Amino acid sequence: MKLALLGYGKMGKAIEAVAKERGHSVGVTIDDEDDWMAKLDDIRECDMAVEFSTPATVLSNIMRCFDMDMPVVVGTTGWYDHLDAVVHDCQQRGQALFVASNFSIGMNIMFELNRRLAQLMDSHDEYSVSIAETHHIHKLDAPSGTAITLAKDIIEELDRKDDWRLMKKGTRIGKGIIPITAVREGEVAGIHEVVYDSDIDTITLRHAAKSRKGLALGAVLAAEYLEDKHGYFTMKDLLKVES
């Protein structure tokens, strides 16, 4: 495949390296509006777009891909309030969209463990639950899309929780709220922890990315999966995980 990389920061460069390792090529890289105008012909020659830009530009990038009948894999987070509308548009227009809050295979295994642990904890209200995430200082959204996914999955399985909240100085939460702590420091690739705590013991699920390569590999695998398909897909489809 010839890929168009929408967003050519550190993740974009990591995806480029993995794509070439797997026999693909990068036809164009897009970082801003000027690139869209100057490189439009190059974009049209690509087979697939991989989108890792910013929350401010992701929606317009997706719609431009739809307008060109180009499948798009989206790893940018911080826009999920619009996800339902974008998925509806994708399906109505017969386009192809793959969205994940985290493309790491290991992290997606943790998603499954998180759901299962929440099921087991539903009858043990002596445990409080919290989420903590740490990322590099360049990450624009907080909490991470991955942390939000973890929280939403817990809420689906744990009757005593009905929402999440980002913890800031002075933040107060009620019993039904899952607190999320977000830290931005250094060049941390990504650490996520789900903690169940009681007076007796503590249970922790933790995933720590060692580099961006795992995310890049997952994004390229998603692009390979999306080729010649139409509709909306997630990592559950790629990994054949039953809902």
Pairing of strands 72-74, 96-99: parallel
168 belongs to the catalytic site: no
Candidates 2, 13, 39, 139; catalytic one: 139
- Closest-CA residue to 73 (of 242, 225, 239, 240): 225
By C-alpha distance, which of 240, 239, 232, 241 is closest to 86?
232
The one-letter code for the residue type at 161 is: K
For 233, the token pair is: 């897909």
Phi and psi at residue 182, to the nearest 5°: -120, 130
Report the alpha-carbon distance of residue 173 to residue 177 in Å, rounded.
Answer: 6
- Asked if 136 is an active-site residue, the reply is no
- Kindly state the tokens that stand for 139: 């990450």
Catalytic, out of 135, 161, 192, 207: 135
Q: What residues are labeled active site?
A: 135, 139
